[in-house]
Structure 1
Amino acid sequence: MSDQTEISSPPFDSVSQVRFSPTNPDHLLVSAWDTTVRFYDVATNEQKAKIDHRAAVLACCFGDATHTYSGGLDNGIRELDLSTEKVTYLGQHGNAVSAVNYARDQNALISGSWDLSLKLWDPRASTADVSTHVLPERVYHMDLVNNTLVVAMASRLFHIYDIRKMSEPAQTRESSLKFMTRSLACMTDGKGYAIGSVEGRIGVEYFDPSPEVQDQKYAFKCHRQTIEDVDHVWPVNSLAFHPVHNTFASAGSDGTVSIWDHKLKKRLRQYPKYSGSIASVAFSCDGSRLAVGVSYTWDDGEEGAKAAERPAIWIRKPGDEVKPRQL
């Protein structure tokens, strides 16, 4: 397909996250179960740097243009300086690090863990661990827009924080979806977020607690298919909002990526199916690219892993399908 390119030298084991640079649409970070975080220049299709953790890496993010952060099953947080390729160990959680985000206005790294806590780090300080915030459950996913941090936890719990005041959450919520939260992304316009579950549903939520705004939230079925009269339902593994148009992409274990206009409640496009499950998707900072991480997502346990192909990273150039339809 001419509208997408496969990245050479992908990870050897399942992709956990793909993340683009906040300032450079050519720079992509990929964390994986092969214990690596790889940094690519997608314009030249080259792997520029790689760091190793001691166990599977579950989450990665850029700080500024030249620093990246990652964490995973070895409980540690590592910083990579892309200009020097120097790796700095910032500290650790008491259990696996499941999510990392960078708050650029505060120059703070936020990490979430299965140890029932969030930590805020100042990577420039000599003792990087700034503050710890205890949670009622394990952190599964986090996303950040402006000063609003959304934390998705086990037991379908959500905390919404103003990161300038982390002493307590601004709101606590229960998921509008019945099953475990598998994905989360904040809207580009800062008004809300979308969540995906393990049973092929997406919920669209809004931050404003007023009843008239809360009446606008909804959920819908997706990443489902009827094959020979049997309904197949797949997890929604990843969500990503377009940075310009505020439409969003969803990716599932069915190997498909769809683009949605959440205001019109319409699917704008479904791309041709990929060769395997899609673990993670991300738009570049200008919206000109969509990274698609195709790999085994452990839906069928150890047995499925034996037959799984090597992961693939595809870079797609979206067209007009990411623009919202005119009302």
Structure 2
Amino acid sequence: MASEYNDPSTTTTLPSPPFDSISSIRFHPTNPDLLLVSSWDTTVRYYDSGSAAAPSRPAELKAKFDHRAAVLACAFNGDGSRAYSGGLDTGVRELDLSTEKITHLGTHADSVSAMVFAPHVSALVSGSWDRSVRFWDGRAPSGSAETSKTDTPERVYALDVVQNTLVVAMASRLFHIYDVRNMRVPSQQRESSLKYMTRSLACMPTGEGYATASVEGRIAVEWFDVRDEVQEKKYAFKCHRQTVGSVDHVWPVNALAFHPVYNTFASAGSDGTVSIWDHKVKKRLRQYPKFPTAVSALAFNCTGTQLAIASSYTWDEGEAGARVQPGGVPWVGVRRCGEEVRPKGWSG
């Protein structure tokens, strides 16, 4: 029986979900119905959500790529014909979505924690706990796919790119901002505005800045322009918190995603909620019905008409928490977006 969070009138539940925690979701760059889901169950799943252009067409699992260890990150290439993956086995792989062939591009010295495709330079960018950011070209001959390596002062936790700007979030609350055309030195070095470990990061599609979130229920909105009058606009706020009786519960913010048209953003927390925010007016536009367990990943599609959401235990409470986690079976769904993702008074 459908619950409020997976009401079929608003949401398509994807079949054959992973059986362990879901690490990331990525939508196809031009097809609004195709997406990747990576998981700690050592797979990357490739789905057709089947709901945007033809609601009567059922969602389907198009392919499943098995790996040797947990997969922490995935990404499409520029035209969406291929995908990439990386995780605990340190390898960077290219996934041919038509033939289901897996090609090993190279390795980091430690787990691959994040990846994103930078279309302006036609390169895959991967970050690792080995304290490096590497660029890859899947078109290169075997053994020469790695095109550059940039050492970082700390382990890479998250990264995102907009236009030619790459933001790298690291341990010790460090941030480096690079121009992808010149990775020799960062154009900016920053310390997080948040007091606790960075959990998630997303760049504004407008190229103005980025949002970042921590394990301690806070989100910060930052701007790239270093002029004082612009930096005065940055701010942070509390979210994904709940008071039960006299006890305040604070939850990690596991994922952030900007809407590609409206520049609003969604946040996902271990409290099992997804919220939509208008950062320009500093207000929440909507909170969706609560999920039975943590929301571990989310992503808007290229047109902003769908929001993919993954609900799965994120091990915040360790193995003991997994034993008592209600609704602990991983779930992935695609919610059709309505007026709630649009800023009030939007005129286009």
Q: Pick from 204, 208, 211 the counterpart of residue 228 of structure 2.
A: 211
Aligned counterpart, 1:61: 75
Q: Hey, what's the Cα distance between the residues in 2 that align with 1:321 and 1:96?
A: 37
Q: Which amino acid aligns with 1:320?
A: E
Aligned counterpart, 1:315: 334
Structure 1 residue 222, shift from structure 2 partner: 0.4
Q: Hey, what's the Cα distance between the residues in 1 that align with 2:45 and 2:323?
A: 24
Task: Indicate the percent of aligned positions where both proteins have the same amino acid.
Answer: 65
Q: Hey, what's the Cα distance between the residues in 2 that align with 1:257 and 1:19?
A: 17
Aligned counterpart, 2:3: none
Q: Which amino acid aligns with 2:17?
A: P
Q: Pick from 42, 47, 63 the counterpart of residue 49 of structure 2.
A: 42
Structure 1 residue 154, shift from structure 2 partner: 0.2
Alignment of 1:126-275 (within 5 A): 126=141, 127-275=144-292
Q: TM-score, normalised by structure 1?
A: 0.99
Q: Hey, what's the Cα distance between the residues in 1 that align with 2:337 and 2:242?
A: 24
Structure 1 residue 105, shift from structure 2 partner: 2.2
Q: Deviations over 1:284-321 (max 9, x none)?
A: 00001000010000110111223442200011011001
Aligned counterpart, 2:31: 24
Q: Which amino acid aligns with 2:107?
A: Q
Q: Which runs of 4+ in 1 moved over 4 A?
A: none
Q: Deviations over 1:34-59 (max 9, x none)?
A: 00000000103111011111100000
* Partner SS state of residue 31, structure 1: strand
* Partner SS state of residue 34, structure 1: coil
Moved more, 308-317 or 284-293: 308-317
Q: Hey, what's the Cα distance between the residues in 1 that align with 2:324 and 2:16?
A: 20
Q: Hey, what's the Cα distance between the residues in 2 that align with 1:222 and 1:70?
A: 31
Q: Which amino acid aligns with 1:218?
A: Y
Aligned counterpart, 1:79: 94
* Partner SS state of residue 8, structure 1: coil
Say how many residue pairs are matched.
327
Q: Hey, what's the Cα distance between the residues in 2 that align with 1:10 and 1:243?
A: 26
Structure 1 residue 5, shift from structure 2 partner: 1.6
Aligned counterpart, 2:55: none
Q: Which amino acid aligns with 1:59?
A: A
Aligned counterpart, 1:51: 65
* Partner SS state of residue 15, structure 2: coil
Q: Deviations over 1:161-191 (max 9, x none)?
A: 0001111100000000000000100001000
* Partner SS state of residue 48, structure 1: strand
Structure 1 residue 229, shift from structure 2 partner: 1.6
2:316 pairs with 1:324: no
Q: Hey, what's the Cα distance between the residues in 1 that align with 2:123 and 2:323?
A: 40
CA RMSD of aligned residues (A): 0.9
* Partner SS state of residue 310, structure 1: coil
Structure 1 residue 6, shift from structure 2 partner: 1.1
Structure 1 alignment gaps of length 5 or more: none
Q: Which amino acid aligns with 1:214?
A: Q
* Partner SS state of residue 11, structure 1: coil
Q: TM-score, normalised by structure 2?
A: 0.93
Structure 2 alignment gaps of length 5 or more: 1-6, 51-57
Q: Which amino acid aligns with 1:285?
A: C
Q: Hey, what's the Cα distance between the residues in 1 that align with 2:306 and 2:324?
A: 30
2:120 pairs with 1:105: yes
2:288 pairs with 1:288: no
